[in-house]
Homo-oligomer: A and B are copies of this chain.
Amino acid sequence: MTVKVAVIGAGPAGLAAASRIKKLRPDYHVVVFEKTRWASFALCGTPYYIGGLIDKPEKLMHYPPRFFIEKRGIDLRLIHRVIYIDPDKKILEYEGPGGTGRYEWDVLLIASGARADLPDVPGIDLQGVYKLHHIDDAVLLREKIEGENVKDIVIIGSGYIGLELAENLQRIGKRVIIPTRSKYPLTKLLDPDMGEKLANILREKGLVINYDESLEEIKRKNDRLEIVTSKNTYTADAVIVATGIKPNTEIAEALGLRTGNSGAIIVDSMMKTSRPDIYAAGDNVEVKHVVTDKYTWAPFAQEANKEGYVAGSNIAGKTILFPGVAGTSVTSVKGVVIAGTGLTMKEAYRHGFKPIAAYVEARTKPAYMPGSGKVLLKVIADKKTGLLLGAQAIGGEDAYWRINVVAALLHKRGVVEDLFFTDLGYAPPVNTVWDALVIAGRILLRNW
């Protein structure tokens, strides 16, 4: 009897899992139900599609749907929405272009992702108000700002998407203002001290971000929009609401799966949910955090891919355990790279640590080398145990890589000595002899 696997969602997690299953068990029947017309989508690329670096929306797919069907033998069904699941009888019902149907499965994988989390204010549904989460959002948005007389754009929110959009809209000649509820940009990633530094840098780079203002209402005014916040009123040709995302939770709720604080599905290290033969992976799950060993929601593409890989392996009978995430994230705005991993100070306190921090501002190369720049680095450790807890960096691409080095140490539960003693290479074209990470390690060594 052929084992039948149903996957809900053809994003990174769903297709990584489906591909892995077919690789290990070509005899399995794997059907992937995807409600949109897109598969293998790279949502992180959408701002760059808006900015014209990507010409066609099809290029926001890592591989075309045909690849998964023809090369990998996956029964990929686009524009198919799963409308009912019976977890006991192991059947699901779907709705597609050809009507409704039913599929009996032996194993189910829920990889239904996340969606835009919009504030509940008057006017949020007006024409001219956009969101940017999925590819179709990007297609619609680009069509509108290219086709109409759109010059002034207000972006609500100073998270990753808000900032990346601002850069890309400026690239194509739009005037952008960003009112944000936050006191500084990228509040999920940065502590207030680092956030303030970033705010100053972005201001110097010509980005207008107005902090500590919450959106109250959006109104139509002639052929433009009026955006009312707690402090100001703006007039614009379009509004993009980039106030974050939340996990898709309908299926979890319908099936009574165990969920975490975020509403996302709790999975074990095999990516199994609380019900037998039902797995979940991607932006709709909570997994363990490598530092706290507590469940966390870390909706990042690189983790969705690995979670899918792990789920697929386990479904196909090859056991592999997911060790958890460090929550590493990164963005780049107007040439400034901002990255973080692990816990912020606030999160560290919340998890019962006694965090201490080292802050380093260092040259990235000797002053005489071309391309010598600066990196701002903060590393956080626990005063009691020396355990490394997290790090944040602002600078060039090397800032991002320093954060990846810390992520590797977090993954291995590294302590302050490890940061100091990790043997980072040195040559004048690529670094200084005392790397910023090593200096941070030295400062932390003195303090515990």
A13–chain B nearest beta-carbon distance, Å: 12
Q: Do A48 and B397 form a contact, CB below 8 Å, given A411-B422, A433-B301?
A: no
Q: Is there an interface contact between B302 and A424, defined as CB atoms closer than 8 Å? A: yes
The CA-CA distance from A62 to B426 in the complex, in Å, is 15
Which residue in B48, B326, B438 is a CB contact (below 8 Å) of A369?
B48
Q: Is there an interface contact between B306 and A421, defined as CB atoms closer than 8 Å? A: yes
Which residue in B164, B420, B422, B428 is a CB contact (below 8 Å) of A45?
B428
**Contact residues of A between 47 and 61, Cβ < 8 Å to B:** 48, 53-54, 59
**Contact residues of A between 149 and 185, Cβ < 8 Å to B:** 160, 164
A397–chain B nearest beta-carbon distance, Å: 5
Which residue in B404, B426, B430 is a CB contact (below 8 Å) of A424?
B404
> Which secondary structure dominates chain A's binding surface?
mixed
How many residues of chain A have a CB within 8 Å of chain B? 72
In the complex, the chain B residue whose C-beta lies closest to that of A62 is: B433
Q: Do A368 and B408 form a contact, CB below 8 Å, given A323-B417, A428-B48, A434-B305?
A: no
In the complex, the chain B residue whose C-beta lies closest to that of A45 is: B428
Q: Can you list, as one digit per residue, whether each of A370-398 has a CB less than 8 Å from chain B (1) or not (0)?
A: 10000000000000000000000000011
Is A73 an interface position by the 8 A CB rule? Answer: no
The stretch of A204-212, A241-249, A327-335 in contact with B is A327-335
Beyond A301-B433, A408-B418, 19 extra complex contacts between A and B, CB < 8 Å: A44-B427, A48-B368, A59-B368, A300-B426, A301-B426, A306-B421, A309-B442, A323-B421, A326-B422, A330-B430, A337-B430, A397-B397, A400-B431, A407-B424, A407-B425, A408-B414, A410-B423, A411-B422, A411-B423
Q: Is there an interface contact between A421 and B411, defined as CB atoms closer than 8 Å? A: yes
Q: Is there an interface contact between B422 and A407, defined as CB atoms closer than 8 Å? A: yes
Q: Do A422 and B397 form a contact, CB below 8 Å, given A428-B45, A433-B305, A434-B305?
A: no
Residue numbers of A with Cβ under 8 A of B are 12, 42, 44-45, 48, 53-54, 59, 62, 160, 164, 290, 300-303, 305-306, 309, 320, 322-323, 325-332, 337, 339, 341, 366, 368-370, 397-398, 400-405, 407-412, 414, 417-418, 420-431, 433-435, 438, 442, 445
Q: Is there an interface contact between B429 and A302, defined as CB atoms closer than 8 Å? A: no
Q: Is there an interface contact between A423 and B369, defined as CB atoms closer than 8 Å? A: no
Please name 17 pairs of A and B residues whose Cβ atoms are closer than 8 Å in the assembled complex, sorted by A: A12-B433, A44-B426, A44-B433, A45-B428, A164-B427, A300-B426, A302-B435, A332-B427, A332-B430, A339-B425, A401-B401, A403-B425, A404-B422, A407-B423, A408-B412, A408-B418, A409-B412
The CA-CA distance from A188 to B414 in the complex, in Å, is 29
Q: Is there an interface contact between A327 and B423, defined as CB atoms closer than 8 Å? A: yes
Cβ–Cβ < 8 Å partners of A421 in chain B: 306, 322-323, 411
Q: Is there an interface contact between A397 and B398, defined as CB atoms closer than 8 Å? A: yes
Q: Is there an interface contact between A302 and B425, defined as CB atoms closer than 8 Å? A: yes
Cβ–Cβ < 8 Å partners of A411 in chain B: 414, 418, 421-423
Q: Do A430 and B400 form a contact, CB below 8 Å, given A368-B53, A421-B306, A423-B411?
A: yes
Among A305, A341, A411, A424, chain B packs the most CB atoms within 10 A around the CB of A424
Q: Do A401 and B403 form a contact, CB below 8 Å, given A422-B411, A423-B325?
A: no
The CA-CA distance from A409 to B424 in the complex, in Å, is 11
The CA-CA distance from A39 to B62 in the complex, in Å, is 54
Cβ–Cβ < 8 Å partners of A306 in chain B: 420-421, 438
Cβ–Cβ < 8 Å partners of A341 in chain B: 423, 425
Which residue in B302, B328, B408 is a CB contact (below 8 Å) of A408?
B408
Q: Do A53 and B369 form a contact, CB below 8 Å, given A339-B425, A428-B44?
A: yes
The CA-CA distance from A409 to B342 in the complex, in Å, is 17
